[in-house]
Homo-oligomer: A and B are copies of this chain.
Amino acid sequence: MHGNIIVGQSGGPTSVINSSLVGVYKTAKDRGAKKVYGMLHGIKGLLDDQYVDLSEHIKTDLDIDLLKRTPSSFLGSCRYKLPSISEGKEVYEKIFAKLKELDIEAFFYIGGNDSMDTIKKLSDYAILVDSNIKFMGVPKTIDNDLATTDHTPGYGSAAKYIAAVTKEIIRDGLVYDYPQFTIIEIMGRNAGWLTAAAALSKSEDCEGVDMIFLPEVPFDIDNFMEKVKELSKKKNSIVIAISEGIKVADGRYVFELADHVSFTDAFGHKQLSGSAKFLANKIGAELGVKTRAIELSTLQRSAAHMTSRVDITEAFQVGGAAVKAAFEGETGKVIVLERVSDDPYICITNSQDVRKIANIEKKVPVEWIINDNTYVSDELIHYIRPLIQAELSPVMVDGLPRHLKLNL
């Protein structure tokens, strides 16, 4: 028998983040945890006494299977970053008082870089105050930018969605027999893993995208326009995938080259979109051809109707492995994925010091960016391919995918 545990979700959603929640919940229950609490909107919810007893919300095996197929964080999320221990001692005292009140044995946080920072700080504080509460990180991000893990749950499904819809967009472009350019804008501020997934569209039945531009290398607009002109001489329909985060050599985002549109939101944050539109407009103006900009937007992180079975399974596994590790006494760790073999694809979980992963951004190796920075290498494609394999069919009710709803 074990005591109570608590779990939260943080950062941007993915279409499989709830499979990790199920992994934590089910494994904890199976291993004799008493109560499994869920923080609403991450640690922010815990601080505001916003949490639920998950058993009251995941009641049946059907609920478990629906939750695995439910996109976007079931418990809600936050982007709250803990202060340093020296500067925010009272926040830590408050959190640990709450955890004591709930008689928590282990604390799980499903998230990306910022969330791993939270686990790091909480486990540091636990040492400081001699608490024996275990703190474990469960990795998730569509961006695949977490260090030391072979890849991150959430990425495989986003990659599969991107590759699948890119195939459909390419098909759509072939329908007319006049020249046209389509620019697909894909998420990824600093890391190009998601954009690289567009390369998977190339297959026996599809010639794939014509060029791919990642944020790891500077974007050269003159070179781009030259390549565009060459392509336009060879074929009618040209499809190009770009990362939302591509920047020119002087550090400006590509969309910032447009001079007539404000890209700052109400909070003064730069809105990271519009580069596809800018490039499409430029091509249209210079070549006199039809162009279209397509932003995949939030669907690439929430399209639970098109997930990878490998990804959903691994998302579950990292959640379960975190519980197993915590119950065996580990703390201040994050579960990582280790690829044992490429072919056949075999991947195992391991636990690792959270300090090795927190606040480090893993980017696409520049040697995997080829053809004068306009495409990605076979190594990169072989790396991604196993992660998009197989499906978990949505549960369709009255014609639409059914999700599990949190009723508060």
Please give, as numbers and ranges, the residues of chain B lying within 8 Å of A301 by CB-CB distance: 172
Contacts of A389 in B (CB 8 A): 398-399
* Pairwise interchain contact B295-A175, C-beta atoms closer than 8 A: no
Verify if A390 is at the interface (C-beta below 8 Å from B). Answer: yes
29 contacting pairs across A/B (C-beta < 8 A): A13-B172, A41-B176, A70-B171, A71-B168, A71-B171, A73-B175, A78-B176, A165-B299, A165-B303, A167-B400, A167-B401, A167-B403, A168-B299, A168-B305, A169-B298, A169-B302, A171-B403, A172-B301, A172-B302, A203-B398, A205-B403, A205-B404, A260-B260, A260-B261, A294-B298, A295-B295, A385-B399, A388-B399, A391-B396
Interface flag for A177 (CB, 8 Å): yes
Q: How far is the CA of A260 from the CA of B404 in the complex (A)?
A: 43
Query: Is A298 a contact of B303 with CB atoms below 8 Å?
Result: no
Known: A266-B284, A294-B298. A76 touches B400 (CB 8 A): no
CB-CB under 8 A from A205, the residues of chain B are: 402-405
Interface: A291 (CB within 8 A)? yes
Q: Which residue of B lies closest to A396 (CB)?
A: B391
Pair B76/A176 contact, Cβ less than 8 Å? yes
Q: Give, as a whole number of angstroms, the nearest-CB distance from A350 to chain B.
A: 25
Chain A window 148-192, contacts with chain B (Cβ cutoff 8 Å), 1 for yes, 0 for no: 000000000000100111011101101111000010000000000
A163, B399: Cβ atoms closer than 8 Å? yes
What B residues does A403 contact at CB under 8 A? 167, 171, 205-206
Report if A175-B72 is in contact (Cβ < 8 Å); known contacts: A284-B266, A297-B292. Answer: yes
Q: A174-B72, A305-B306, A388-B399 are in contact. Are A299 and B266 (CB under 8 A)?
A: no
Q: Which 5 A-B pairs have the closest CB atoms?
A: A388-B399, A72-B171, A172-B302, A168-B302, A205-B405
Does A351 touch B at the CB level, under 8 Å?
Answer: no
A289 to B70, CA, bound (A): 26
Does A337 sit within 8 A of B, measured CB to CB? no
Residue A55 at the B interface, CB < 8 A? no
A289 and B302 contact, Cβ closer than 8 Å, known pairs A160-B400, A163-B400, A172-B13: no
Instruction: Give CA–CA (A164, B299) in the complex, Å.
Output: 11
Cβ < 8 Å to B, chain A residues 93-108: none
The verdict on A299 contacting B169 (CB below 8 Å), with A205-B405, A260-B260, A261-B261 known, is yes
Q: Enumerate chain B residues within 8 angstroms of A402, measured Cβ to Cβ.
A: 203, 205
Q: Which residues of B contact A284 (CB under 8 A)?
A: 265-266
CA distance A193 to B159 in the complex (A): 31
Distance of A41 from chain B, by nearest CB (Å): 5
- Does A321 interact with chain B (Cβ within 8 Å)? no
CA separation between A401 and B400, bound complex, in Å? 19
Inter-subunit contact A302/B171 (CB<8 Å): yes
CA distance A177 to B10 in the complex (A): 12
Cα(A405)–Cα(B202), bound, Å: 13
A295 to B295, CA, bound (A): 8
Given A206-B405, A261-B261, residue A308 in contact with residue B399 (CB < 8 A)? yes
Report if A356 contacts B (CB, 8 A). no
CB within 8 Å of B: which A359-408 residues: 385, 388-391, 393, 396-405
Q: Does A355 contact B (CB under 8 A)?
A: no
Indicate whether A304 reaches chain B with its CB closer than 8 angstroms: yes
User: Using Cβ atoms and an 8 Å threshold, which residues of chain B touch A396?
Assistant: 390-391
What residue of chain B has the Cβ atom nearest to residue A12's Cβ? B175
A182 — nearest CB in chain B belongs to which residue?
B298
Contacts of A261 in B (CB 8 A): 260-261
How many angstroms from the CA of A295 to the CA of B298 in the assembled complex?
11
* A298: B residues at CB distance < 8 A: 168-169, 172, 182, 292, 294
Assess whether A285 is interfacial by the CB under 8 Å rule: yes
Closest chain B residue to A306, Cβ basis: B305
